[in-house]
Amino acid sequence: MNRAFCKRIGVTVIAAASAMIVSIAPAAAITDIKIAGNGGTFTFHDDGDVFEVCDTNADGAAVLGRLYYKPIGGDWYVTEEEEDGGDGGCDKMPHDVNGVGDYQMKLYWLGTGYPGLLQATSRVFNE
């Protein structure tokens, strides 16, 4: 084969391989997720896998953030929960979100007469 022909084949192969590598994108990483309800917020910080529950209403009632988990082929259950209210700042809970199953966040208001009133629900997510 002549040298110029081999060079063209080499360039073509490299270009095709580069196009394939560029088109194979890594799995989309989740970003921070924030849900808000009457009286509070529940936020997932992907950097560090930390969940933060904040009582934002000085009504004397706390808020409760629950993290639900559904393993592959299983049923939903509460894997973590954190309550915030009556103090300064927000409460945090670390939890390693992995790619084996689905997660969902739910925020509840714990007001008098309405213990556990659902305020907000996140989309289902995983890593």
Query: What pTM does this model have?
Result: 0.73
Classify burial at 80, counting beta carbons within 10 Å of its beta carbon; exposed 0-12, middle 13-18, buried 19 or more. Answer: middle
pLDDT tens for each residue of 23-33: 333 333 457 89
pLDDT tens for each residue of 66-115: 999 999 999 999 999 999 997 878 999 999 998 789 999 999 999 887 77
pLDDT attached to residue 23: 32
- Domains annotated on the chain, with CATH: 33-121 (2.60.40)
pLDDT tens for each residue of 32-79: 899 998 889 999 999 899 999 999 998 889 999 999 999 999 999 999
pLDDT attached to residue 111: 87
Strands (DSSP E) found in the chain: 33-37, 40-45, 50-55, 63-70, 77-84, 91-94, 102-111, 114-121
